[in-house]
Amino acid sequence: MKKYVDMFAKSVSEGEIRPRGYGFAYYDIDYNRIVCYPLGIHLLVGFVRKVYHRFLSIRFKSVVDEAYKKGLNEGMKYSSDRYAEGMRHGLQDCMEILRKKEYEFDPITGRAKLED
């Protein structure tokens, strides 16, 4: 089947003009070119190729995907730990300011105010 589909394919390298009556099906990264098929068929070929590659990416997890997920999870954990640490330090600083004698806590507004 691939042999019959490939006989309609036209490769267009950089700087070339797309053949008349042909539509863009996909970009071939290995050879840095676009692959065109006759109008109508180009949609089908592009869709089947996308589905095939999506299936491969789901079926076979690569080492790069696993490393990316591990790094993302570690970064999120580090970031949330740093956020919690910053909040804790901020709260401690606020409590120290409120304990000082020059501030008085107003229970109605819930704010600290300067003593005159």
Integer-rounded Cα radius of gyration of the chain: 31
Where do the domains of the chain lie?
2-60, 64-114
Q: Return the pLDDT at 14.
A: 85
Kindly report the length of the chain. 116
Do the Cβ atoms of 24 and 42 come closer than 8 Å? yes
Q: In the structure encoding, which two tokens stand for residue 11, read together?
A: 């490769």
Count the neighbouring beta carbons within 10 Å of the beta carbon of residue 46: 17
Q: How many C-beta atoms lie closer than 10 Å to residue 30's C-beta?
A: 5
CB 114 within 8 A of CB 102: yes
Sequential pLDDT tens for the chain (116 residues): 566 667 788 888 888 888 899 999 988 888 889 999 999 899 999 999 888 888 877 776 677 777 778 877 887 888 777 877 877 777 777 677 666 655 566 666 666 665 55
Distance CA 6, CA 15 (A): 22
